[in-house]
Structure 1
Amino acid sequence: AGSCTKGLTAFSSVDTEEKAVKPFVQLPAELQKPLFTTIVETDKHYLLATENRGVWAYSDDKWLSVSGVEKPGISALTKNSSKEYAYGDGAGVFEINGLTAHKVIDENETKNILSIYAEADGTLFLLFNNGLIKKYNNGRLTDFSNIPKELADQYSYICKIGDKYLVVTDMGILTYSQGKAWNLMYFKGSTENAKVASSVQGNSSNLYTALSDGRIFEYKNEKLEFLGVITDQPVAMNFSALLWVAGKEGLFFLENNGFVQTPLRTEDKIIGAFPTKNNTSILVFTGSGVKILSDR
């Protein structure tokens, strides 16, 4: 990550402002006014889900539609080390192979779904808004666990670190090991006026969570720690070499335990940021196309 951050901190503001204003790669005609929701990075391309235009892949300055998931409502993505999955509330779960997708879980099994975690072997854990977690394995969907009812309507994200299942809530992070009770670790400070804005796993058995008031926390080694705060309202996070936090007005990254703001200013929604393979520039995916932040 070091080489990436060196390049980042050497941004020339004049150069980047000029480049940041214009989309680096415009959206194709059939992808106009997309309501982008999430993005994942794969070995071959970037996959972006929308609320209204299906799922799209971006690679080498080109946008390509993923077939089989064109209908509205398939607006979320998850992945494991080898596969990607698209899903949505009442829209089913689809396994994506290249630029095609096929259904693995039916629409009527995904009503009120919030989040899916995909294990390396293709086992899926589905979190629903009533606190029920279901497990999908070898074509079968079974009940796995129920979260305590006291935290209803506060869940947002599920993942697994080590042998613990984690569910992010607006008050903190719930952890669960099979055969044991659920345990809630609270976010430090008041959460009365804050909601979870985004959660993403890092690359060292950790989980980052941003709250709507700008505070960001990290779960690691079975502890939940306050990491820092950004001077913006977080809307999305992704991890690619570094932790990237998109606010309503700008883009931040985590370096040396502090958050650094990039020169990017945009009124477009930022969906995610990814360093290029040679670490000389950052691709920033926004509602109007891909902008580039480049190092001189």
Structure 2
Amino acid sequence: MGGDPPHQPRTALGVDMSVSIENLKVPLGGRPILKGLSLDLPGGEVSGLIGPNGCGKTTLLRSIAGLLPLQGGSISWRHRQVAQMKAGERARQIAILPQSAQAPEGMKVADLVARGRSPHLRPFRPMSKVDRDAVQRALADVGLEHLGDRPVAALSGGQRQRAWIAMVLAQDTPLVLLDEPTTFLDLPHQVDILRLARRLSTEHGKTVVMVLHDLNFAARFCDRIAALKEGQLVAEGAPETVLTQQTIGQMFGMTCRILSDPRHNTPFVLPD
């Protein structure tokens, strides 16, 4: 797919595309997960969520999507409370790729991707040419245009992950949430998907928020990074301001060296 696009995010003219999170408190199973977290995720940019397992990254992503009840605080998208948006409106505004998604038995790849168009369809009306074209573009974007008629269950793990990403792309929302989008992918396809996430921002002005475990990928592909630990914000900002020895030590309890990637001019974390 060529080199990485420069970090020059666009925002739709005259439209605030940022996500504003204030004093967010979210419990799961009676246990507090997010503990008064406040964070602004800029519009038209790619923001990465990093931190150790169990720190609240996925809970935060699902909360932004309006999938979890809030115990306190608020999440605003385009100056509206996500919790007050109707389900159909949320689905036209916010798309989320969960960690472990399951397709119905026997479903074909193209049919799975077409599900992304559901929020845009009128009741009892078939898909239009616009909808069908959106499905084909999404399949092409993830390199599965030749596998549309194949059952999802017949795909490899990496191909299935790309099919789910295609469904999110077909949904064509201004806010895209990706929970570990490189899971099951080999290294070339990991890079392809992260480049695609950047293009959603740089070429289409979308706001992208994704959970990543690879700190060096986060540095390379994200405009901003939010570091979490135990449901609270440790640091946030540009990669070079977050990926420091102090912050990484605070998050993971490990020592490291921070080098500079000579090709991409981004921080490179080298564990000791």
TM interval, shorter chain, is 0.3 to 0.5
* TM-score normalized with structure 1 length: 0.31
TM-score scaled by length of structure 2? 0.33
The structure with the largest helix share of the pair is: 2
Q: Which has the higher contact order (CA 8 A, sep 6+)?
A: 2
The structure with the greater share of residues assigned to strand is: 1
